[in-house]
């Protein structure tokens, strides 16, 4: 498994999970975030045997904080432990290299796979954010602070 710099064309090769596509599809505002992340080097792609397993990164919010995201492809389930270790190293290294003291991410209430993924990566559940998206759905906020505090 290798980690490479994200290129927007990777989305064309990405085998979407339906729950990922519903939120992060090419028509969403998230596309602008990925285009910016490609330019700034804030996003990576995990690949194995020519398949994209995940796309993830951190988008800067303030000088010391960022928003972490991960898109898991249909192939991610084939290598869950290796992918989790790689993702954990990536987020911790990016946090250090980019000078963050805190990164945050959000998952739809009930999205068990996403909640498990956050916990594997070392994020801590911080609470429910009511009516977080445009449709009024609730999300769970997770945070990671420097040195695991």
CATH number at residue 85: 3.40.630.30
pLDDT tens column, 79-125: 888 888 888 888 888 888 889 999 999 988 988 878 888 898 889 99
Q: What pLDDT does 8 receive?
A: 79
Q: How many CB atoms lie within 10 A of CB 93?
A: 11
- Tokens 């991610």 locate to 76
Sheet (strand 51-60) strand order: 2-5, 43-48, 51-60, 65-72, 102-108, 139-145, 124-129
Q: Please report which confidence band the pLDDT of residue 38 belongs to, taking 50, 70 and 90 as the band edges.
A: confident
What is the model's pLDDT at position 123?
93
Q: Would you say residue 63 has pLDDT above 90?
A: yes
Mean pLDDT, residues 15-43 taken together = 67
Range of the structural domain that residue 38 is part of: 2-148
Question: Which pLDDT belongs to residue 11?
Answer: 76
Cα distance between residue 26 and residue 24, in whole Å: 7
Assess contact for 116 and 122: CB atoms under 8 A.
Answer: no
Given 3-state DSSP classes, what are the helix, strand and coil percentages for the chain, each rounded to the nearest 5? 40, 30, 30
pTM equals 0.78
Any idea what DSSP says for residue 53?
A: E
Number of domains in the chain: 1
């Amino acid at each position: 498994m290798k980690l490479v710099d994200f290129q927007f064309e990777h989305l064309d090769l990405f085998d979407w999970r339906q729950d990922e596509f519903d939120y992060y599809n090419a028509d969403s505002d998230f596309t602008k975030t990925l285009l910016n992340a490609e330019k700034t080097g804030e996003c990576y792609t995990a690949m194995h045997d020519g398949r994209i397993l995940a796309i993830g990164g951190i988008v800067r919010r303030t000088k010391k904080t960022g928003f972490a995201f991960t898109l898991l492809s249909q192939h991610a389930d084939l290598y869950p432990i290796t992918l989790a270790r790689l993702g954990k190293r990536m987020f911790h290294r990016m946090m250090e290299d980019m000078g963050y003291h805190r990164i945050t991410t959000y998952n739809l209430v009930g999205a068990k796979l996403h909640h498990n993924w956050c916990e594997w990566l070392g994020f801590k559940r911080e609470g429910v954010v009511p009516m977080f998206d445009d449709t009024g759905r609730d999300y769970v906020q997770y945070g990671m602070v420097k040195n695991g505090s």
